[in-house]
Amino acid sequence: MARKLFGTDGIRGKANTFPITPQMALQVGIATGIAFRNGKHRHRVVIGKDTRLSGYMIEPALTAGFTAAGMDVFLLGPMPTPAVAMLTRSMRADLGVMISASHNPFEDNGIKLFGPDGYKLSDEAEARIEALIEEDLSDRLAGPSDLGRARRIDGMRDRYIEFAKRTMPKAYDLTGLRIVIDCANGAAYRVAPEALWELGAEVIAIGTDPDGYNINRDVGSTAPAALRAKVHEVRADIGIALDGDADRVIIVDERGEVVDGDQLMAVVAASWAEAGRLSKPGIVATIMSNLGLERYLGGLGLSLDRTKVGDRYVVERMRSGGFNVGGEQSGHLILSDFSTTGDGLVSALQILAVVRQTGKPVSEVCRRFDPVPQILKNVRFGGGKPLDTASVKAAIAEGEARLNGSGRLVIRPSGTEPLIRVMAEGDDERVVEAVVDDICVALKQVAA
């Protein structure tokens, strides 16, 4: 069954338009609650959100749906996505929900669902929920005496802060480090600065004044200019940028240079391999991770297993293959020793542990390899299947021949927009750019 609501990361769209409407949130709550009722015990769901204005609309609609299905609802308020995943398990809830559109602007919002194990729902579970939404569920609602209750619970921020702090090796703290933390005016605007301060750092926080509209606006992991400027201004040892729901991170070193997720994965992989902490001699990343990372890991005797784009697919491969480190170039790092999903704060703490262990500046710790030239361009199309046309297939075949086995070519439709993404990488940047341009021209001629 083709999914209509769920994409690669839950349900997402523009607030107050399909599918992010209060009516649909109500239906999602009812259908998901019914799908996860199992037994006669009191069923629980925990709901967190980021700082978007539309969260005030989606949260009560979901709550109404879950209580109508007979589930008790625990409202966490603004809370990072990884905290919701952790608390779902910790509170022995049947479900966890995060209301967020991650790094998107405030106009968008989304609904992410976690099972009782803290992992995002499988494609099959999401398809089952979609099927229920299309049914008449009136005869499956809870009876008047079996309706759920809803209440806000306090102290959950402190529980997450303590959890994050415990992932830092006991031998190290952050005393003497000057850290700039950019919380993207999002879900971690309270917990991240406090956790770093409690570990001993001198903390300069930006992106900590959410107003419902400014999440990810000129701040956060997708807009590092503000962080770079602040690191220079205060002469910080490191800058840390989270996104709106704090499941991804990028680093800025003391020189103001941005460090992406590929370099961060290299740091963790090398450190954990040396300490004997890798569960398998390798890590998992997506098809978008740089070839330089693969070569660096190969030099350490480690493999790089690639998946399609989306942190959920990285997690699925990690679980099936027994890996405990994975991630995406964008800054999603999944460290399954600690978390079931990406956790920007915990990932940053692992990098800071290596900085403490080595005594070296961040610029040395986090520069593990020289990235291979990589070019990504998008082509918008109105419909049809342009990748199936003869001219585009010919351009792709010619591009692969020009890369001659020394690079990679990745062409994929976007999962959220009518775009085809064309990415190539290789040692000769001129060849790489020519390959991408030629394929884009062929696509534009078909899409016109």
How far apart are alpha carbons 343 and 168 in whole angstroms? Answer: 13
Measured between alpha carbons, how far apart are the two ends of the chain, in Å?
31
Catalytically annotated residue among 54, 100, 102, 289: 102
**Is residue 149 a contact partner of residue 46, using CB atoms and an 8 Å limit?**
no
How far apart are alpha carbons 108 and 37 in whole angstroms? Answer: 30
Beta strands in 185-286 (DSSP E): 202-206, 238-242, 249-252, 258-259, 282-286
Tell whether 247 is in a known binding site.
yes
Q: Give the count of alpha carbons within 13 A of 309, CB side only.
A: 15
Strands ordered across the beta sheet of 202-206: 202-206, 178-182, 238-242, 249-252, 258-259
Phi, psi for 400 (deg, rounded to 5):
-65, -35
145 flagged as catalytic: no
Tell whether 243 is in a known binding site.
yes
The 3-state DSSP class for residue 38 equals coil
**Is residue 153 a contact partner of residue 76, using CB atoms and an 8 Å limit?**
yes
Look up residue 336 and give its amino acid: S
Question: In angstroms, what CA-CA distances link 339 with 120, 315, 413, 435?
Answer: 12, 10, 29, 39
Tell whether 320 is in a known binding site.
no
Tell whether 146 is in a known binding site.
no
The 3-state DSSP class for residue 133 equals helix
User: Measuring CA to CA, which residue among 108, 106, 78, 54 is closest to residue 217?
Assistant: 106
H or E stretch covering 74: strand 71-78
Q: Which residues contact 136 (CB under 8 A, 6 or more apart)?
A: none
User: Which residues are part of a known binding site for Mg(2+)?
Assistant: 102, 243, 245, 247
Instruction: Give the residue numbers of the binding site.
Output: 102, 243, 245, 247
Catalytic residue IDs = 102
